[in-house]
Amino acid sequence: MNIKEAKRRAAELTELLNYHNHRYYVLDDPEIPDSEYDRMLRELQEIEQAYPELISIESPTQRVGAAPAGRFEEATHLQPMLSLGNAFTAEELQDFDRRVREGLGASGSVAYSAEPKLDGAAVNLLYEKGVLVMASTRGDGTTGEDITQNVRTIPTVPLRLQGAGYPTRMEVRGEIFMRLAGFASLNQRIVNEGGKPFVNPRNAAAGSLRQLDSRVTASRPLTMFAYGIGEWEGNGKPDSHTELLATLARWGFAVSPDVTRVIGHEGCQAYYEAMQLKRPELPYEIDGVVYKVDSAALQEELGYVARAPRWAIAYKFPAQEELTVIRDVEFQVGRTGALTPVARLEPVFVGGVTVSNATLHNMDEIERKDIRIGDTVFVRRAGDVIPEVVRVLPERRPANAKRIELPGSCPVCDSDVERIPGEAVARCVGGLYCKAQRKEALIHFASRRAMDIEGLGTKLIEQLVDADLLSTPADIFELRAEQLQELDRMGPKSAENVVAAIQQSKHTTLPRFIFALGIREVGETTAKSLARHLGGLETLMGADEETLQSTPDVGPVVAGNIVRFFAESHNRDVVSRLIDLGVTWDDMPQAGASNSQFSGKVVVITGTLAQMTRDQAKELLESLGARVTGSVSKRTDFVLAGENPGSKVEKAKELGVSIVSEADFLQLANF
């Protein structure tokens, strides 16, 4: 067989094997016996062995895994992977439906897409021209880890999409999980080999996905259901979520067979109750159901709040509870000095994991529930929620049970502990003198969503604080490579890289800088609102509570926290030092400023930009008062179009929406 014949036959076998793979794993309806599939796979392997240049990323032979990787690289999602709000009661579900109808101005019922909430690991799959080119974990919602080699080994993940009509670039979101039978079989195999079995299918799926050796992943019984999309460029998107899932199924993805369309909160509640009854019969674990407004146009109209969509919610099944005994209580100190009581428990198996610690929240909760050391208590865990002590069984209280008392001094630095009247939380007053607060404050300052100092992570900061090399955020910018390379697992090259990253982080944005300061209850969204509304740091530092409360998202509590933060001379000194050391950002116009042509506008970004990343363009637009969305609708004011923009430009033309080039955008933005 010459190369031309081999190429033709390899393409033919790839198409056949992918087709039969889909019939077997996705549709559970094989057309050929296993022996015939194995024969074709061996033939393709022989061709690729003879002609290695014919190996393609969509070849079924690539599902067997590869040699171990050194580490996982970062992967940035084209569209953020958002989290969902939760409902735990029928009343909360009704409230969600009411908010949706009020947001749409709808007098009648709204249609929702309903599906089970799988208990696995979320992934983002990037397809270009129908071929899988990258797979990544959710991570922080913006950036995850590149696990492409591992995901290629999962039979229900198409390496090339079937049929036609798919977009030129598309992100597919799905849940990777392990069926109960496969989980039991895997654990039995591990036990037979003398290993430690996985606690539950979710841990097994997540652990299997994060193997540096993808051959290990290939040996695990993983599967995936697709549940949504992120980026979509080229060709029109389906008009509804149920239609989208049906389209993904036609292109070769497995989707939940229990997806259905329901009407109003009554339909949602009926579906929830039906899935509760069906739950014990399912071949995989679920921990609730998910509802999404079915209409894509209505989703766009509702938009987002913080990092969650207004048009979707997860309705969780009741939390699981178990009995155990409180052996001791310790107080942990957080970034803001808050002391959190943590119960040390007799280990108990709850909700699929062994729990040995549980939060007691604060002293008010301890007093309200009358919790004592030695008590027998109910412990609750639901999904990823931190285990908590729900209630005490006083009839089982031993005679020597001890009351829990708030310490008078900080368990870390011995500073006084203060409990402000009217507040539930007690705090250490040591501030940055307290190493616990110092470490947490510095970790927050350097984190990805704040100053984004690559390489300056938790373990390195802990070492620097313990070595008395870091006391305040400003000290970070005076670190030298010679100091860093003296630390554990830090060679000269690594030290130089960290110093370079520190220098690179000096040019940031005002919202990031405000967020990085770690002011109590000032998150990313509030930091952006403050920056847009007030326009500059000096204005923020000098603002009184009344001025601050005129900012969206800022109430009296947050305003008070901001005023108290900047009233502290040492906080103002740190800010001054940071600026003196070269931390800078571009000026931001105030919200509604007349020199911003984007203030109050809805903007969509599409295509590849030459002068900046799409994230940078989004931050700049938001700083100019714009709201950036993912798809074009009649409410869109501008489309910022880079190279290879895809279908969004065509949609904009159809709707008469203005299209702005990158060069024009930068000129309009005075950038």
What positions carry a catalytic annotation? 117
Taking every pair of Cα atoms in the chain, the longest distance, rounded to a whole number of angstroms, is 87
Sign of the torsion formed by the C-alpha atoms of 197, 198, 200 and 201: negative
335 alpha-carbon distance from chain centroid: 21
Helical axes 264-278 vs 90-104, angle rounded to 10°: 140
- Provide the terminal-to-terminal Cα distance of the chain, rounded to the nearest Å: 60
The token duo for 62 is: 């690539």
Bridge-based pairing of strands 376-381 and 320-333 is antiparallel
The 10 Å CB-count burial string (b at 16+, else e) for 200-232 is: bbbebbbebbebeebeebbbbbbbbbbbbbbbb
Stated as kind and residue range, the H or E segment containing 111 is: strand 111-118
Q: How far apart are CA 474 and CA 14, in angstroms?
A: 57
Phi first, then psi: what are they for 234, rounded to 5°?
95, 135
* Sequence-separated (6 or more) residues with CB below 8 Å from residue 108: none
Phi first, then psi: what are they for 78, rounded to 5°?
-70, -35
* Sequence-separated (6 or more) residues with CB below 8 Å from residue 498: 453, 455, 456, 460, 479, 481, 484, 490
Q: Could you give the 3-state DSSP secondary structure of residue 88? A: coil
Q: How far apart are CA 581 and CA 118, in angstroms?
A: 48
H helices present in 456-554, as ranges = 458-466, 473-476, 481-484, 492-504, 510-516, 524-534, 537-542, 545-549
Q: How far apart are CA 515 and CA 610, in angstroms?
A: 28
| Closest to 400 (Cα-Cα) out of 373, 361, 427 | 373
Q: Are 135 and 126 in contact (CB under 8 A)?
A: yes
What are the C-alpha distances in Å from 634 to residues 196, 235, 300, 615, 657?
56, 18, 10, 24, 8
Phi first, then psi: what are they for 669, rounded to 5°?
-85, 0
| Closest to 275 (Cα-Cα) out of 118, 435, 406 | 118
Q: How far apart are CA 632 and CA 301, in angstroms?
A: 11
- DSSP label at residue 657: -
The token duo for 373 is: 């050391």
Q: Are 159 and 254 in contact (CB under 8 A)?
A: no
Query: Side-chain half-sphere of 447: how many Cα atoms within 13 Å?
Result: 18
| Closest to 316 (Cα-Cα) out of 283, 278, 275, 358 | 275
